[in-house]
Chains A and B, each alone.
Chain A
Amino acid sequence: MIVVLVAMEGLRKLMLLGSFALVLVTLQKMQTQYPFFDPTIAARLMAIPLVSRSAMIGGVSGRHTSPHRGSSVEFAEYRKYVPGDDLRRLDWRAYGRTDRFYVKEFEADTNLRCILILDSSGSMSFGSVGMSKWDYATRLASTLAYLTIQQGDAAGLVCASNEITHRLPPRRNPAHLASWMQLVSQVTPGGETHLPRLLHELAETVLQRAMVIVFSDFFAEPSLWRDCFEHLRFRKHDVSVFHLMDPEELQFDFQRPTRFTDLEGNASIFAEPSDIRERYHIALDEFLSSLQQTCLETRTDYLRVSIDASVESTLKEFLVARLNGTGRQGSRM
């Protein structure tokens, strides 16, 4: 009997080791196949859960607050008994004190559905630090997708430029991550930005509340973003945005006369950088402050990121901020 027990314990540990090895092998394979995904960063960030700021409606139990009452250990409220209620939920002590029937309700924990929206317009292909904004966005999104699925939540994908080019509904299946990665790897940024319109579409099409994380440079009029965010918020979505900026776009320290060609069209502008640098910064600052203010007013988490910043630290800041419930505004410049 003892021998059997020892053998079973050994078998169990062997299986654990095997599963762990399988995970490592899978991660290594994913990194080889999808260079935008860094498993080491993902592994280090797994200790920080991705939490939702608002209640989620999930299909299964999870770690996120649900708007419904459930069977968690966290007391929610008392409610008068109505016929049909489960008698097991009657609070007999309250009946003893008040001689009335009350039903004791508890919070329900559910999983979330995280929709990662990647701006795949032509402007996202710009980058001056060895990677483009698209590359940076895919690193952020893939890591977040991995973390989401790893904690049992569903992760979806939407790639949008002038249209929604790629879409993957949220799934919590670990195998879904490979599909997610596979789909992202197939996307090449291009075309014009119609993200505001597409966000409206998504707000209408994603019926169930979800965590919506947008990765974009948001090069559109700030007023358009306000409508989008309000629309998403109206649909009870927990909206977060990663505002990706290239250092050159922030500094604009060109010296020579330059002909700037639009990545989203055929337009070009010839300019003496020294002449327009000041005005460029004025316009940029106006845009950044306006967008940040829009996010603040629409209760959208806003994180401005310069793509030369560390992916890991950017995500850590994002996750920690959500975990602590502190501030909706931040920047990684």
Chain B
Amino acid sequence: MGFLQPWLLIALPLALIPIVIHLVNQWRYQTKPWAAMMFLLRAKTLDRGFDRLRSWLILAMRVAAVLGLILAASRPISSGLMAWISGGDIDTVIVLVDCSPSMLATGAQNDLTKHKTALSQLAKSLAVFNASKWVLVDSNSLKASNFSSSSSLLQSPNLRVSDAACDWPAMIESAIAYLDREKPGQAQLWMVSDLQATNFKVDSPRWSDIRKRLRDAKTTTRWTSIEYPEQPASNYAIRVTDARWVPTATDANSSKQVSLDLLLSMLVLDTSTDNDTASAASVLPASSLTTVPVTIAWQGNETQVSVDILAGRGELKDFRVGSVSNLARNGTDTTNAGNRNSSSQSWGRVQLALDGNLADNEDFFAVDVSPIAKTLIVSERVANVLPVMIAAQSPSEANVQSEVSTVTPNLFDQLQLDGVAFLVWQADLPNEKSLDAIESFIKRGGTVWFFPPELIAEQIAAPKPNANSDRLVISQIAASQTSLRQFRWEEWLTLADPISPTSWISDTGLLRSTQSGASLEMGELKVRRLATMSVRENVDINSANKLKPIASFADGKILIGSLAVLHSDSGLIKPEPMAIATGVDVITTHQMPPEASAYGSGSGFPSSQGEAVMWGTFPSEDFSNLGYTSGVVLYVAVQRALESGLRSLKSIVQDIAQSRSSSGDDFKTTNNGSRLPSRDQWEPLLTTDRFLSNQIESHAGVFRASAKLVSVHRPLLEDEAKTLETADWNRLFEGVPIKRLSEQTGSRDDLQSESWRTFVMILIIALLVEAVMSLPKSQN
């Protein structure tokens, strides 16, 4: 049995006050000459058991009331009390601590962070337990670590706040796994969180299993959730959305860029502003406009820039931070400019002034010149895809150089696809050897467009791995996906009247709407000849590898299809169809990772990987108007394919800080599909003050991984200050008795426990019993 304020126990002798008063009262007796002694003597002989006990019971109740008051004020620990009652000790104390960046937020009234407050209160609370095992499950490691004492647990470096998000389902699963494995007799579990809603992943299907395991647990476990939902009075979060070089001068002789400007885009969010308020920005008065100073540290210099915040959101686009010269393409030249370690690679950080949360006041960027947008066109007749070639030769961004090569299919096997960002295949489907090369290309993150051959061979009933087969067999595209895909062109259809696609994916992918929200004019596209396509069904095939329509006609025929290739170990979220509709205003969407959408299309952050796109027609006049009146659609699609392919070639990798267990052990597959050395081998170039070398995966910063720079950011969802609703909590922990203690951030008080209520109840009961027993008997 433990107490949070044991010094109050020195007041326990006060429980003797009723006894002392009783004795003093006895001592202060009066002497009364009395005649009716016979009745007194008779009354003594009539002394019945309960009556004899009554006065002692009253005295005991008074003592119990004082004891209850003192013990309640001493803040007894519930588990200790329960263990004391049950006669056993707590075997194991498991502490689950949210170490996400949001825990560095301060309270509205003080400067202590939630993290410091929690550790302070935990230190006082855990000190009273006499457990044999101390286990820490932190959001950085997601693993249960054993400690010898509460003090050593609380001094663990794992408790340092990192930049990784907290995965509460994973932490609780880890704790449950520990309980299942160790099977302690009695366990105490303390959850320390700020109730950030995104950390709880309320929609995760894992919760149902967690609930079931918690309910079925054989260990006597008492859960206590210490919550710090209080939000700082004012807080801004900053993140870099884009960093790129823009050439400002080019050597006329060598056509090399000799001077580059660094353009930086950033987003500042007022996380203390209600989301509803932010959405109503258009109706906010001008007075709600605030200016936030941002410091950009780059090349040893600091640049101050102001960002206007309106309705909780401020964005700075393409701010020119500075320029460098004597650069060459692809790292062939070296310079001694600032922190640049390679030829054109550079990095820096953006910072906000101190506010309610230190963790979201800075972000990092790394930048390198864009590689040449190489397009390889494999065509039996270039005229069939000439508009594609023209579009590929005209990059949308001035700092991107393009290069288009055309080969015939029979020469394809002799080529190396290194440096190729975009591959166009207009011919019979590739043979096995070519297929291997294309598979590798797709794995690397390249985009492949397949156009039908001019003449489609006769359909083949069964697949056969023939080199000249008209089938595209994509097998083992993803390491963990063993399904067999069988794609084939069916036949050419000549349409009497040109038709237009009626449904297409407009929020992501090739045909997504522009950033301004305008959709591509797919309704203007007219198709005169259409090559039908299909994927042969196979038992090994799974839904993820089926041909998905990007654009289709009213009769269901596919104009543009996609064979998405995803890597299970890439850390990406598997896209799931969200909705399908038809008509001109169609939206069929694949859900993008929120981190991806935050950085936009130009950041190099991936939106999808390993995509093979099948076009059912040619962009030539006899087949469609793709190359003419609807050329905008084709141009945009080509540029997006190029952009997607270029990501795999860039030397800058954008990544998200994450917990150790989810970051992999031996190697890191980045979000753009390329494999990097494990994080242990990364070299930190620029990190936060909280950086720990043994937690490199959990911290934001700029790291060097082999020849690439990895810019690690804190998760976007960490900037959402919304706390978990009570209804969601109840739903997540339905049937699981968890004591919730909502604490004030910055409070130096010890954690309250429900045990004091027990003693208050004892106090009240004792007083009531004493009052009832002291009532005068009826004078009948």
Binding site for B on A (CB under 8 A): 122-126, 133, 217, 219-220, 246, 249, 254, 256-264, 267-272, 274-280, 282-284, 286-287
Task: Determine whether the beta carbon of B38 is less than 8 Å from that of A278.
Answer: no
Task: Tell me the nearest residue of chain A to B774, going by C-beta.
Answer: A274
Interface residues of B in 508-550 (CB under 8 A from A): none
Q: Which of B36, B37, B47 contacts A267, CB < 8 Å?
A: B37
Q: Which of B26, B32, B36, B55 contacts A123, CB < 8 Å?
A: B36
The answer to whether the Cβ of B54 comes within 8 Å of any Cβ in the partner chain is yes
On chain A, the residues within 8 Å of B34 by CB distance are: 126, 260-263, 269
Q: Which of B28, B35, B41 contacts A269, CB < 8 Å?
A: B41
Task: Tell me the nearest residue of chain A to B40, going by C-beta.
Answer: A269
On chain A, the residues within 8 Å of B36 by CB distance are: 123, 126, 217, 219, 249, 284
Q: Which of A263, A271, A282 contacts B40, CB < 8 Å?
A: A271
Q: How far is the CB of B666 from chain A (nearest CB, A)?
A: 83
On chain A, the residues within 8 Å of B30 by CB distance are: 254, 256-259
Mask: chain B, 714-757; 1 = CB below 8 Å from A; 0 = not: 00000000000000000000000000000000000000000000
Task: Determine whether the beta carbon of B39 is less than 8 Å from that of A263.
Answer: no
Task: Determine whether the beta carbon of A287 is less than 8 Å from that of B40.
Answer: no
The answer to whether the Cβ of B181 comes within 8 Å of any Cβ in the partner chain is no
Task: Determine whether the beta carbon of B51 is less than 8 Å from that of A278.
Answer: yes
On chain B, the residues within 8 Å of A283 by CB distance are: 38-39, 42-43, 46
Task: Determine whether the beta carbon of B26 is less than 8 Å from that of A257.
Answer: yes
Q: How far is the CB of B528 from chain A (nearest CB, A)?
A: 111
Task: Determine whether the beta carbon of A260 is less than 8 Å from that of B32.
Answer: yes
On chain B, the residues within 8 Å of A278 by CB distance are: 51, 777
Q: Which of A246, A257, A262, A274 contacts B37, CB < 8 Å?
A: A262
On chain B, the residues within 8 Å of A219 by CB distance are: 35-38
- In the complex, A203→B776 CA distance in Å? 45
Task: Determine whether the beta carbon of B47 is less than 8 Å from that of A261.
Answer: no
Give the interface residue-count category, chain B.
20 to 34
Task: Tell me the nearest residue of chain A to B34, going by C-beta.
Answer: A260
- In the complex, A126→B37 CA distance in Å? 12
Q: How far is the CB of A115 from chain B (nearest CB, A)?
A: 24
On chain A, the residues within 8 Å of B35 by CB distance are: 122-126, 133, 217, 219, 246, 249, 263-264
Do A263 and B33 form a contact, CB below 8 Å, given A275-B54, A283-B39, A284-B39?
yes
Task: Tell me the nearest residue of chain A to B43, going by C-beta.
Answer: A279
On chain A, the residues within 8 Å of B39 by CB distance are: 249, 280, 283-284, 287
On chain A, the residues within 8 Å of B28 by CB distance are: 256-257
Task: Determine whether the beta carbon of A258 is less than 8 Å from that of B51.
Answer: no
Task: Tell me the nearest residue of chain B to A220, going by C-beta.
Answer: B38
Q: How far is the CB of A179 from chain B (nearest CB, A)?
A: 29
Offer 30 A-B interface pairs, CB within 8 angstroms, sorted by A.
Answer: A124-B35, A126-B36, A219-B35, A246-B35, A249-B36, A257-B26, A258-B32, A259-B30, A261-B32, A262-B37, A263-B34, A263-B37, A264-B35, A269-B37, A269-B41, A269-B44, A271-B44, A274-B55, A275-B54, A275-B55, A276-B47, A278-B51, A278-B777, A279-B43, A279-B46, A280-B39, A282-B43, A283-B38, A283-B39, A287-B38
Do A257 and B29 form a contact, CB below 8 Å, given A126-B35, A280-B39?
yes
Total inter-chain residue pairs, C-beta < 8 Å? 107
Interface residues of B in 756-774 (CB under 8 A from A): 774
The answer to whether the Cβ of B25 comes within 8 Å of any Cβ in the partner chain is yes
Q: How far is the CB of B560 from chain A (nearest CB, A)?
A: 98
The answer to whether the Cβ of B31 comes within 8 Å of any Cβ in the partner chain is yes
Do A259 and B31 form a contact, CB below 8 Å, given A279-B46, A280-B39, A280-B43?
yes
Mask: chain B, 93-122; 1 = CB below 8 Å from A; 0 = not: 000000000000000000000000000000
- In the complex, A262→B34 CA distance in Å? 5
- In the complex, A250→B101 CA distance in Å? 80
On chain A, the residues within 8 Å of B26 by CB distance are: 257, 272
- In the complex, A270→B29 CA distance in Å? 9
Do A280 and B40 form a contact, CB below 8 Å, given A257-B28, A258-B32?
yes
Mask: chain B, 127-168; 1 = CB below 8 Å from A; 0 = not: 000000000000000000000000000000000000000000
Q: How far is the CB of B270 from chain A (nearest CB, A)?
A: 69
- In the complex, A269→B29 CA distance in Å? 12
- In the complex, A187→B42 CA distance in Å? 30
Task: Tell me the nearest residue of chain B to A254, going by C-beta.
Answer: B32
- In the complex, A219→B37 CA distance in Å? 8
- In the complex, A219→B39 CA distance in Å? 9
Task: Determine whether the beta carbon of B40 is less than 8 Å from that of A257.
Answer: no
- In the complex, A275→B773 CA distance in Å? 11
- In the complex, A83→B43 CA distance in Å? 68
Q: Which of B40, B42, B55, B776 contacts A260, CB < 8 Å?
A: B40
Q: Which of B25, B29, B47, B48 counts the most chain A CB atoms within 10 A? A: B29
Task: Tell me the nearest residue of chain B to A270, going by C-beta.
Answer: B29
Interface residues of B in 53-98 (CB under 8 A from A): 54-55
Q: How far is the CB of B19 from chain A (nearest CB, A)?
A: 14
Q: Which of B34, B48, B776 counts the most chain A CB atoms within 10 A? A: B34
Question: What 4 A-B pairs come out closest when comparing CB atoms?
Answer: A283-B42, A123-B35, A126-B35, A279-B43
- In the complex, A261→B30 CA distance in Å? 10
Q: How far is the CB of A163 from chain B (nearest CB, A)?
A: 19
Q: How far is the CB of B187 from chain A (nearest CB, A)?
A: 50
On chain B, the residues within 8 Å of A287 by CB distance are: 38-39, 42
Do A272 and B32 form a contact, CB below 8 Å, given A262-B37, A280-B40, A283-B39?
no
Q: Which of B25, B32, B51, B776 contacts A279, CB < 8 Å?
A: B51
On chain A, the residues within 8 Å of B37 by CB distance are: 219, 260, 262-264, 267, 269
- In the complex, A283→B45 CA distance in Å? 10
Q: How far is the CB of B773 from chain A (nearest CB, A)?
A: 11
Task: Determine whether the beta carbon of B46 is less than 8 Å from that of A259.
Answer: no
Task: Determine whether the beta carbon of A258 is less than 8 Å from that of B31.
Answer: yes
Task: Determine whether the beta carbon of A276 is less than 8 Å from that of B44.
Answer: yes
On chain A, the residues within 8 Å of B46 by CB distance are: 279, 282-283
On chain B, the residues within 8 Å of A271 by CB distance are: 40, 43-44
Task: Tell me the nearest residue of chain A to B779, going by C-beta.
Answer: A281
Q: How far is the CB of A118 from chain B (nearest CB, A)?
A: 15
Q: How far is the CB of A193 from chain B (nearest CB, A)?
A: 10
Task: Tell me the nearest residue of chain A to B37, going by C-beta.
Answer: A262
On chain A, the residues within 8 Å of B777 by CB distance are: 277-278
On chain A, the residues within 8 Å of B32 by CB distance are: 254, 258-261
On chain B, the residues within 8 Å of A256 by CB distance are: 25, 28-30
Task: Tell me the nearest residue of chain A to B27, going by C-beta.
Answer: A257
On chain B, the residues within 8 Å of A277 by CB distance are: 777
On chain B, the residues within 8 Å of A269 by CB distance are: 34, 37, 40-41, 44
On chain B, the residues within 8 Å of A275 by CB distance are: 51, 54-55
Mask: chain B, 13-29; 1 = CB below 8 Å from A; 0 = not: 00000000000011011
Q: How far is the CB of B45 from chain A (nearest CB, A)?
A: 8
Q: How far is the CB of A289 from chain B (nearest CB, A)?
A: 13
Q: Which of B29, B38, B41, B48 contacts A258, CB < 8 Å?
A: B29
Task: Tell me the nearest residue of chain A to B31, going by C-beta.
Answer: A259
On chain B, the residues within 8 Å of A246 by CB distance are: 35
Q: How far is the CB of A14 from chain B (nearest CB, A)?
A: 53
Q: How far is the CB of A176 from chain B (nearest CB, A)?
A: 31
- In the complex, A124→B34 CA distance in Å? 10
On chain B, the residues within 8 Å of A261 by CB distance are: 31-34
Task: Tell me the nearest residue of chain A to B41, going by C-beta.
Answer: A269
Task: Tell me the nearest residue of chain A to B26, going by C-beta.
Answer: A257
- In the complex, A267→B26 CA distance in Å? 19
Task: Determine whether the beta carbon of A276 is less than 8 Å from that of B40.
Answer: yes
- In the complex, A261→B36 CA distance in Å? 10
Task: Tell me the nearest residue of chain B to A251, going by C-beta.
Answer: B779
Task: Tell me the nearest residue of chain B to A261, going by C-beta.
Answer: B33
On chain B, the residues within 8 Å of A122 by CB distance are: 35
Q: How far is the CB of B37 from chain A (nearest CB, A)?
A: 5
Q: How far is the CB of B665 from chain A (nearest CB, A)?
A: 78
- In the complex, A259→B48 CA distance in Å? 21
On chain B, the residues within 8 Å of A133 by CB distance are: 35
Task: Tell me the nearest residue of chain B to A126, going by C-beta.
Answer: B35
Task: Tell me the nearest residue of chain B to A245, going by C-beta.
Answer: B36
On chain A, the residues within 8 Å of B29 by CB distance are: 256-259, 270
